[in-house]
Amino acid sequence: MWDVGGQKSLRSYWRNYFECTDGLVWVVDSADRMRLETCREELNVLLTEERLAGATLLVLANKQDLPGALTAHEIKETLQLDNIVTHHWSVVGVSAVTGDKLLGAIDWLISDIAKRIFTLE
């Protein structure tokens, strides 16, 4: 598992981690409305990457503990996730601070990947 930085200066390094990727966890700061448009654009570019074809996408609408955070549904709408037809995806509202909903979200990711791997064998 690789944790790659989201800052602009680090995004050009993402490509070093594409090989053999089964799952992508895209962590969104749900309280930072200003960056959501950039977030949507960057995710769309990422999903055009050939080496990520077939990878399962888990979008974590993080920081749900903060007042004013957008809900998972609002994040789905803002990032236009319904337009994604190339990858299996799910969006879950979580908080890395309280741990709320995190385990279930990761369980979904692992089970989606497992279904694909076992179907191929």
Ligand X SMILES: Nc1nc2c(ncn2[C@@H]2O[C@H](COP(=O)(O)OP(=O)(O)OP(=O)(O)O)[C@@H](O)[C@H]2O)c(=O)[nH]1
Q: Is there binding between residue 12 and ligand X (CB under 6 A)?
A: no
Asked if 113 contacts 23 with a C-beta cutoff of 8 angstroms, the reply is yes
6 known member of a binding site? yes
**Ramachandran sector of residue 57 (left: φ over 0; alpha: ψ -120 to 50; beta: rest):** beta
Residues 87-116 that bind ligand X (CB under 6 A): 95-97
Both tokens of 90, joined, read 């799910």
Give the CA count within 13 Å in the CB-facing half-sphere of 9. Answer: 0
Q: Considering the complex, state which of residue 7 and residue 119 has its C-beta at the smaller distance from ligand X.
A: 7
Determine phi and psi for 27, rounding to 5 degrees: -95, 120
Applying CB under 6 A, among 59, 62, 70, 91 the residue interacting with ligand X is 62
Q: Is there binding between residue 63 and ligand X (CB under 6 A)?
A: yes
Q: Is 80 among the residues known to form the active site?
A: no
d(CA 23, CA 54): 9
Q: Is there binding between residue 45 and ligand X (CB under 6 A)?
A: no
Q: Is there binding between residue 30 and ligand X (CB under 6 A)?
A: no
Binding site for ligand X (CB under 6 A): 5-7, 27, 62-63, 65-66, 95-97
Residues that constitute the known binding site for GTP: 6, 62-65
